[in-house]
């Protein structure tokens, strides 16, 4: 029997990981996107960050996603992903981090010593990694209106096609789904600065500093704004810059460009992965783990699709 074509709405990280897996499985599909991916406006890395299994269902999902992302990295060697040193700075007083990483140790970084923990994390260059997953020129550029959507949902009901919504923050209000999600805006600074040939990440209570060596760029942040319409919190970004200037005084000498991105936060931080009706599936609300969660969620969506067939 001929397989029914699946339409993936959204060409951000969720849609493209799914497209990658569809291609591997040899299933017929099409990706449709309006060209406003929030994945592009983020400063992402993927890290285990001391999350443990067996404490909560969400923790288990995050650990599973992290493992699946690492497996993908090891097997496919994707462009746009780089393994880097990730320094977590904290003191004995920070009980939350002591619990997570253990008692801080003395670490050396370029002739400076500080207390903390060192991890290896994966730094992502969004555009390059997205292109590796599924090329932009294979995506149908189109904004699907509500009227068009209603028309194609009829085709789903007639079992002529299936739809998977991976439409992220920008698409979430056009779909009625039982568990609600809300948009949380995030702001960050981007600065052009050459800090050497090796990329690295710092994390502290204040926020993250990411150095991307191939483009000589620093990213500082990100903040979380209380709602989707809030203005970026520049005071908070300046505090982060001031904090990291103790390690890299050059940060105060270059112009910082303000960037804003959107995240979709599911109820209790859970991603939404559900069947809306037969042949209609929703996958969104990746929130802060957008670059690893799709690797777990894809397995679940293929289970759902197999059940439908
Ligand atoms: C500042 C910031 C920092 C972050 N840092 C990290 C991090 O360190 N690690 C991490 O893992 N995650 C991080 N994230 C989160 C991560 O970037 C997001 O979770 C992820 O980008 C969401 O991807 P998505 O594919 O669901 O959505 P999107 O990338 O927004 O893709 C959805 C696409 O669907 C399209 N679309 C919607 N409606 C329609 C329609 N009707 N017709 C056609 N197309 C449509 C949109 O145009 C868009 O291109 C960060 C996010 C921000 C903002």
Do 58 and 36 share a structural domain? Answer: yes
**Predicted local confidence at residue 49, as pLDDT:** 92
Rounded Cα distance between 10 and 279, Å, is 17
* H or E element, residue 226: none
Smallest CA separation from ligand 1 atom 21, residue = 39
N- to C-terminal Cα distance for the chain? 11
Do 198 and 72 share a structural domain? Answer: no
Do 65 and 142 share a structural domain? Answer: yes
Do 214 and 113 share a structural domain? Answer: yes
Do 13 and 131 share a structural domain? Answer: yes
Q: Find out whether the peptide bond into 222 is cis, omega within 30 degrees of 0.
A: yes
Atom number, ligand 1, closest to the C-alpha of residue 41: 53
**Predicted local confidence at residue 228, as pLDDT:** 67
CA–centroid distance, residue 64 to ligand 1 (Å): 20
The CATH number of whichever domain residue 188 belongs to comes to: 3.30.9.10
CA–centroid distance, residue 11 to ligand 1 (Å): 9
- Domain count across the chain: 2
Strand pairing class (181-192; 217-221): antiparallel
CA–centroid distance, residue 1 to ligand 1 (Å): 35
Smallest CA separation from ligand 1 atom 8, residue = 44
Which residue among 290, 291, 292, 295 has the greatest number of ligand 1 atoms within 8 angstroms of its CB, and so is best to mutate? 290
Do 130 and 18 share a structural domain? Answer: yes
Domain containing residue 207: 81-124+182-265
* C-beta separation of 200 from 211 below 8 A: yes
Do 237 and 215 share a structural domain? Answer: yes
Do 72 and 1 share a structural domain? Answer: yes
3-class state of residue 97 by DSSP? helix
**b/e per residue, 227-260, with b = 16+ CB within 10 A?**
eeeeebbeebbeebbebbeebbeebeeeebeebe
Which residue among 147, 185, 291, 292 has the greatest number of ligand 1 atoms within 8 angstroms of its CB, and so is best to mutate? 291
**Which residues face 306 on adjacent strands?**
none
* Residue 195: both structure tokens together: 């800090």
Residues 6+ apart with CB under 8 A from 225: 184, 185, 186, 187, 231, 232, 233
Beta-strand ranges (E) seen in 231-279 are 257-266, 272-277
**Predicted local confidence at residue 309, as pLDDT:** 65
Smallest CA separation from ligand 1 atom 41, residue = 144
* H or E element, residue 270: none
Per-residue model confidence as pLDDT tens for the chain (309 residues): 567 889 999 999 999 999 999 999 998 999 999 998 999 988 899 999 989 899 999 999 999 999 999 999 999 999 999 999 999 999 999 999 999 999 999 999 988 899 999 999 999 999 999 999 999 999 999 999 989 998 998 988 888 899 999 999 988 777 777 778 999 989 999 999 999 999 999 999 889 999 999 999 999 999 888 776 777 889 999 999 999 999 999 999 999 999 998 899 999 999 999 998 888 999 999 999 999 999 999 999 998 887 766
Ligand 1 binding site (Cβ under 6 Å of any ligand atom): 9-15, 32-34, 36-39, 41-46, 143-144, 166-171, 174, 186, 188, 222, 261-263, 284, 286-292
* Its pTM surpasses 0.85: yes
Do 206 and 109 share a structural domain? Answer: yes
CA–centroid distance, residue 2 to ligand 1 (Å): 33
Helix axes 13-25, 126-133, angle to 10 degrees: 30
Q: Centre a 10 Å sphere on the Cβ of residue 118 and count the other Cβ atoms it contains.
A: 14
CA–centroid distance, residue 128 to ligand 1 (Å): 15
**Which residues face 192 on adjacent strands?**
217
Do 54 and 12 share a structural domain? Answer: yes
* C-beta separation of 21 from 298 below 8 A: yes
Do 130 and 242 share a structural domain? Answer: no
Atom number, ligand 1, closest to the C-alpha of residue 167: 34
> To 5 degrees, how large is the angle CA 206–CA 209–CA 210?
155
**Predicted local confidence at residue 10, as pLDDT:** 97
What secondary structure letter does DSSP report for 77?
A: -
**b/e per residue, 82-95, with b = 16+ CB within 10 A?**
bebbbbbbbeeebe
**Predicted local confidence at residue 295, as pLDDT:** 97
Atom number, ligand 1, closest to the C-alpha of residue 259: 1
Rounded Cα distance between 39 and 201, Å, is 19
Smallest CA separation from ligand 1 atom 19, residue = 290
Smallest CA separation from ligand 1 atom 14, residue = 288
Do 144 and 58 share a structural domain? Answer: yes
Atom number, ligand 1, closest to the C-alpha of residue 39: 21
Smallest CA separation from ligand 1 atom 9, residue = 44
């Amino acid at each position: 029997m001929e397989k029914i074509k699946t339409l993936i709405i959204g060409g951000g990280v969720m849609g493209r990981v799914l497209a990658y897996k569809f291609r591997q499985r040899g299933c017929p599909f099409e990706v449709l996107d309006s060209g406003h991916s929030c994945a592009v406006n983020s400063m992402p890395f993927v890290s285990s960050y001391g999350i443990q299994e067996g404490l909560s269902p969400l923790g288990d999902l995050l650990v599973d996603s992290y493992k699946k992302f690492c497996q993908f990295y090891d097997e496919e060697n994707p462009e746009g992903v780089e393994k880097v040193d990730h320094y977590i700075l904290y003191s004995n007083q920070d009980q939350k981090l002591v619990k997570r990483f253990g008692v801080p140790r003395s670490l050396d970084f370029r002739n400076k010593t500080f207390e903390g923990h060192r991890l290896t994390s994966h730094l992502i260059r969004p555009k390059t990694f997205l292109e590796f997953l599924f090329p932009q020129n294979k995506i149908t550029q189109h904004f699907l209106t509500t009227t068009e959507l209603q028309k194609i949902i009829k085709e789903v009901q007639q079992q002529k096609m299936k739809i998977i919504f991976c439409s992220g923050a920008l698409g979430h209000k056009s779909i009625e789904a039982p568990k609600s999600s809300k948009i949380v805006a995030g702001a960050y600074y981007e600065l052009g600065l050459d800090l050497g040939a090796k990329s690295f990440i710092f994390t502290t209570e204040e926020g993250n500093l990411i150095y991307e060596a191939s483009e000589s760029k620093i990213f500082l942040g990100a903040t979380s704004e209380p709602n989707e319409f809030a203005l970026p919190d520049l005071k908070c970004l300046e505090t982060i810059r001031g904090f990291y200037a103790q390690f890299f005084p050059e940060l105060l000498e270059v112009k910082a460009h303000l960037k804003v991105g959107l995240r979709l936060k599911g109820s209790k931080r859970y991603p939404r992965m559900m069947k809306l009706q037969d042949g209609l599936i929703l996958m969104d609300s990746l929130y802060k783990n957008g670059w690893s969660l799709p690797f777990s969620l894809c397995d679940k969506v293929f289970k759902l699709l197999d059940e439908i067939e």
